[in-house]
Amino acid sequence: MIRRTLQAALLLVGVSLVGFILVDRLPGGPLAAYEANPEFRHEDMVRLQEQLGLDQPLPVRYAAWVGRLARGDFGSSLLTHQPVSRMIGARVGNTLYLMGTAFALSVLLAVPIGVLAAVRQYSWLDYASSTLTYLGLSIPTFWLGLLLITVFSVTLRWLPAGGILPVSGNSVGPGALDHLRHLMLPVATIVLVSVGLYARYLRAGVLEVLARDYVRTARAKGLDEPTILRRHVLKNALAPFVTVVALHLPEVVTGAVVTETIFSWPGMGRLFWESAVRQDHPVLLALLLLGASAVVVSSAAADVAYAWLNPRITLS
Residue 169 clears pLDDT 60, i.e. is over it: no
pLDDT value, residue 315: 54
pLDDT value, residue 166: 57
pLDDT value, residue 313: 64
Residue ranges of the chain that CATH labels 1.10.3720.10: 91-135+187-309
Residue 108 clears pLDDT 90, i.e. is over it: yes
Residue 276 clears pLDDT 90, i.e. is over it: no
pLDDT value, residue 212: 85
pLDDT value, residue 33: 64
% of the chain beyond a pLDDT of 70: 91
pLDDT value, residue 314: 61
Which region among 66-80, 86-100, 167-181, 217-231 has the lowest average model confidence (pLDDT)? 167-181
Q: Does 313 or 130 have the greater pLDDT score? A: 130
- Mean pLDDT (whole number) for 80-99: 90
Which helix (H) or strand (E) is 182 found in, with range? helix 175-210
- Mean pLDDT (whole number) for 102-123: 90
pLDDT value, residue 149: 92
Read off the pLDDT band of 172 (50, 70, 90).
Answer: very low
Asked if residues 149 and 161 have their Cβ atoms less than 8 Å apart, the reply is yes
- Mean pLDDT (whole number) for 277-290: 89
Please state the φ and ψ torsions of residue 83, each to the nearest 5 degrees: -60, 135
- For the CA atoms of 136, 95, 265, 76, the dihedral, rounded to the nearest 10 degrees, stands at -140
Helix/strand/coil for 83:
strand
Instruction: In whole angstroms, give the CA distance from residue 233 to residue 210.
Output: 7
Asked if residues 244 and 201 have their Cβ atoms less than 8 Å apart, the reply is yes
Residue 71 clears pLDDT 60, i.e. is over it: yes
Asked if residues 257 and 223 have their Cβ atoms less than 8 Å apart, the reply is no
Residue count (the chain): 316
Which region among 92-96, 173-177, 247-251, 276-280 has the lowest average model confidence (pLDDT)? 173-177
- Mean pLDDT (whole number) for 14-27: 87
pLDDT value, residue 287: 92
pLDDT value, residue 311: 67
Superfamily of domain 91-135+187-309: MetI-like (1.10.3720.10)
pTM to 2 decimals?
A: 0.82
Residue 6 clears pLDDT 90, i.e. is over it: no
Distance of CA 109 to the CA centre of its chain: 18
pLDDT tens digit string along 209-239? 888 888 888 888 888 888 888 888 887 888 7
Average pLDDT of the residues of the chain:
83
Q: Which residue type is seen at 182?
A: H
Residue 150 clears pLDDT 90, i.e. is over it: yes
pLDDT value, residue 171: 44
pLDDT value, residue 17: 92
Q: Does 42 or 76 have the greater pLDDT score? A: 76
